[in-house]
Amino acid sequence: MSGARISSISDGSPIAGAGLCIGDELISINGREPSDIIEYQQLIDGTTVTLVVQREGEPLQRKVTVTKDEGQPLGLSIYSAVFDRIRTCDNHCSFCFIYQLPKGMRKSLYVKDDDFRLSFLYGNYTTLTRFTEFDLERVIEEGLSPLYVSIHSTNPELRAEMLRNPRGATSLRWLREILRAEIEVHAQVVVCPGVNDGTELERTLHDVISLYPELQTVALVPVGVSAFSMEETMRSHTEQEAREVVALADKFQKLTDEVLGRVSVFASDEFYLVAGLTPPSATKFESLDQAENGIGLVAAFCDSFNEHSEMEKLGTGFFQSVDGAPALGYRAPRGGSDEIYSGDDVLIITGEYAKPILRTLCDENGFGDVEILAVENSYFGGNIKVAGLLTGQDLIKALEGIPATTVCLLPDVCLSEGRFLDGLTLEDLPHPVITVRTTGQDLRKTLELVRSKGMVSS
The answer to whether 324 and 348 are in contact (CB under 8 A) is: no
The predicted structure's pLDDT at residue 309: 53
The predicted structure's pLDDT at residue 318: 36
3-state secondary structure of 396: helix
The predicted structure's pLDDT at residue 317: 38
The predicted structure's pLDDT at residue 334: 59
The predicted structure's pLDDT at residue 335: 65
- The class level of CATH for 97-321 reads alpha beta
3-state secondary structure of 300: helix
CATH of domain 333-452: 3.40.50
The answer to whether 3 and 73 are in contact (CB under 8 A) is: no
H or E element at residue 413:
none
Superfamily of domain 6-78: PDZ domain (2.30.42.10)
Percentage of the chain exceeding pLDDT 70: 92
Q: State how far the Cα of 155 lies from the Cα of 410, in Å rounded to an integer.
A: 43
Averaged over 407-423, what is the pLDDT? 89
The predicted structure's pLDDT at residue 363: 95
The predicted structure's pLDDT at residue 283: 81
Q: Of 181-190, 210-219, 304-313, 315-324, which gets the smallest average pLDDT?
A: 315-324
Q: What is the pLDDT of residues 360-374, one digit of tens each?
A: 999 999 999 999 999
H or E element at residue 448:
helix 440-452
CATH 3.80.30.10, the chain: domain bounds: 97-321
Asked if pLDDT for residue 88 goes beyond 60, the answer is yes
3-state secondary structure of 297: helix
Q: Which residues contact 392 (CB under 8 A, 6 or more apart)?
A: 420, 422, 423, 424, 425, 428, 429
pLDDT band at 333 (very low <50, low <70, confident <90, very high): low
Q: What is the pLDDT of residues 61-87, one digit of tens each?
A: 999 999 999 989 999 988 888 898 888
pLDDT band at 323 (very low <50, low <70, confident <90, very high): very low
Asked if pLDDT for residue 319 goes beyond 80, the answer is no
The predicted structure's pLDDT at residue 321: 38
Q: What is the pLDDT of residues 124-169, one digit of tens each?
A: 899 999 999 999 999 999 999 999 999 999 999 999 999 999 999 9
The H-assigned helical ranges of 108-230 are 116-122, 133-142, 156-163, 173-180, 198-211
Among 216, 352, 387, CA closest to 290: 216
Q: State how far the Cα of 264 lies from the Cα of 450, in Å rounded to an integer.
A: 41
The predicted structure's pLDDT at residue 331: 52
Mean pLDDT of the chain: 89
Q: What is the pLDDT of residues 262-312, one digit of tens each?
A: 999 999 999 999 999 999 988 888 777 888 888 988 988 898 898 765 444
Percentage of the chain exceeding pLDDT 90: 67
CATH 2.30.42.10, the chain: domain bounds: 6-78
